[in-house]
Amino acid sequence: MSPYHAPLEDMQLLVNQAIRKTGLDQCQALEEFDEGLVGAVLEEAGKFAAGELAPLNPVGDTEGCHFDNGRVTTPAGWKEAYRQFCEAGWMGLALPVEYGGQGLPKFIAQPVNEMWLSANLAFVMFHALAQGGSEILLNFGTDAQKQRYLEPIITGRWTVAMALTEPGAGSDLGALTTRAVPQGDGYYRIRGQKIYITYGDHDMAENIVHLVLARTPDAPAGSRGISLFAVPKYRIQDDGSPGESNDVLCTGIEHKTGLHGSPTCSISYGEQGDCFGELIGQENRGLAAMFVLMNEARLSCGMQGVGLGERGYQQALDYARERIQGAGYDGGGRVAIVRHPDVARMLLSIRAEVMGQRALGYLIAAQIDKAEHTSDDAERTRLEQRVALLTPVFKAFATENANRMAGTTIQIFGGMGFVEETGVAQFMRDARITTIYEGTTGIQARDLVFRKIRGDGGQALTALLDEIDGDTEQSFLQETGFGAALRQATGQFRALIPVICGDSGDSLSLNAGGVPLLEALGTLCCAWQLCLIAVTAQSRKDQNPVYYGNLMALADYYFAYSVPRIDAGLSTFQQAGRGVSAYQFDQ
């Protein structure tokens, strides 16, 4: 397996693109975070990712986690890497300085996160939990809670676990049954079983703060009766240090097809009747609080797709350049397989998706920063709506592609890809969960269609299409025909808005057609981002003809190979009830 190289040139290009696009470069509060600082941070992160995390990735896959008598042991090297990760300050990179973080904006944290995800996804899964858990506490915690939890989490002394799923309550959180009974002292007695808890137990930190969704005794049924509790593994003493056990018991870990290095735990809370938690935010408003973490996790999933795709691309490209097999298509002797047009096609299919989705992921991060720092309320609302619209698209599209890209990477390796020691089969196995956890692709599509489009009468989608249309006016896009192709696609989406938002909206079709619609919108967003990249590339072509020429070729590739699928997807969306409505599965 060839080593991981952080794609610094691509990253810097797309950070700059996101900054310019959102106008963050005009934001005074962030002026210290200039290109020099970004470059320095990315370079340091790249060294850590390549040097410390990537080499542990196959170790974690091969060794996996160990479970014995209620305790989880992580793979060899995990503990030491965790210590270094925290000491270097990576855990709190985009969290407040006041609690021990580095206070960097998200537009810098996003490419850094991508490196961790490329280098060792299974290892670094604690990080989005720390980020999202901290944001929950910052938004919903009392001052005392912030004092109690934030500094240990942000410095990595404690980790965060997110305890949502129960055997009977997965996608449908409203069905959960874990109970929380108030004790009168601000604490609640917690009792219930949760499953699929990432890093629910491990040996890397001195305490674990479980954020547990549960019901109070008089809570309404369904999702409006769910509250959020902080339930530490070890009770917190008056001096803030972890004390005695809080009756939080790991009862097992899953034997998964991928992500072997990340322990996926079943946890029993209060089996001895001795587990206590404190309410975060208000009673029965737990889902709203948890969605802060959930949205963070969904954006992280999208970046996982980018990170896995990039890692596979690097492997496949190295192999394709070295592996000699068969004569060239235009005659002559044996050539490296990268010279075979079908192999080039496969490589480009990964490279183009990675670049388009990476651009989208960085753009979303910059939009979150801009929404935080703008003093213009209307702009803030507009940006928040945009991020809300793009989150399910990015999450689902990038992860569906992660699966396809992992398959393509193996395909480029041929028979060697099927052999575990080559290392690329792991990408396929690891990627497989990304379209499932943090809300399946189907759930993202429903969120897109019903909440994000129908919910605001198509306003946020129209604003996105307007922005894309505006960008097509750039002369390079006019000349190449890319602009006209984009405008044709945006026109097709506009025509569908009344269908989606209409009173007579056929709910069966909207549900069945959601995924094809989401994939079409993801493709449009990638095409748009690749166009913006091509515009920059064209203007800089003289500086580095091969690199920028290739970026222009990527857009060209995408319009030939992926954009035609928009039409197919939207055609399907418009007739999505066909077959699905008539088929009877009960026979």
Q: Sign of the CA dihedral 228, 139, 97, 20?
A: positive
Q: Which of 288, 286, 249, 284 is nearest to 267 (CA)?
A: 249
Q: What is the token pair recorded at 207? A: 């305490």
- Give the nearer residue to its own copies in terms of CB position, either 261 or 516: 516
- Give the nearer residue to its own copies in terms of CB position, either 38 or 317: 317
CB of 7 to its own copies, least distance (A): 12
Cα 390 to Cα 360: distance, rounded to the nearest angstrom: 9
CB of 481 to its own copies, least distance (A): 11
Q: Sign of the CA dihedral 11, 59, 416, 336?
A: positive
- Give the nearer residue to its own copies in terms of CB position, either 457 or 564: 564
Q: What is the token pair recorded at 173? A: 């959180």
Which residue in 114, 310, 438, 519 is the catalytic one? 438
Q: What is the token pair recorded at 561? A: 């190979």
Cα 68 to Cα 276: distance, rounded to the nearest angstrom: 24
- Give the nearer residue to its own copies in terms of CB position, either 35 or 420: 420
Q: What is the token pair recorded at 37? A: 């600082």
- Give the nearer residue to its own copies in terms of CB position, either 242 or 417: 417
Cα 69 to Cα 99: distance, rounded to the nearest angstrom: 35
Cα 239 to Cα 251: distance, rounded to the nearest angstrom: 30
- Give the nearer residue to its own copies in terms of CB position, either 51 or 561: 561
**Would you say 566 and 526 are in contact if contact means Cβ atoms under 8 Å apart?**
no
Tell me the pairing of strands 187-198 and 179-182. antiparallel
Cα 197 to Cα 518: distance, rounded to the nearest angstrom: 28
Distances (CA, A) of 135 to 99, 104, 289, 389, 392: 12, 14, 9, 20, 19
What residues are paired with 310 via a beta bridge? Answer: none
Half-sphere exposure of 59 (CA within 13 A, CB side): 15
Cα 67 from chain centroid (whole Å)? 28
**CB contact set of 504 (below 8 Å; sequence gap of 6+):** none
CB of 58 to its own copies, least distance (A): 13
**CB contact set of 147 (below 8 Å; sequence gap of 6+):** 240
CB of 172 to its own copies, least distance (A): 4
CB of 452 to its own copies, least distance (A): 16
- Give the nearer residue to its own copies in terms of CB position, either 77 or 442: 442
Helical pair 482-501 and 514-539, crossing angle rounded to 10 deg = 150
Residue 255 backbone zone (phi > 0: left; psi -120 to 50: alpha; other: beta): beta
Cα 377 to Cα 390: distance, rounded to the nearest angstrom: 20
CB of 66 to its own copies, least distance (A): 16
CB of 312 to its own copies, least distance (A): 14
- Give the nearer residue to its own copies in terms of CB position, either 168 or 498: 168
Q: Which of 576, 453, 477 is nearest to 534 (CA)?
A: 477
For residue 479, indicate whether it is catalytic.
no
CB of 503 to its own copies, least distance (A): 15
Active site residues: 438
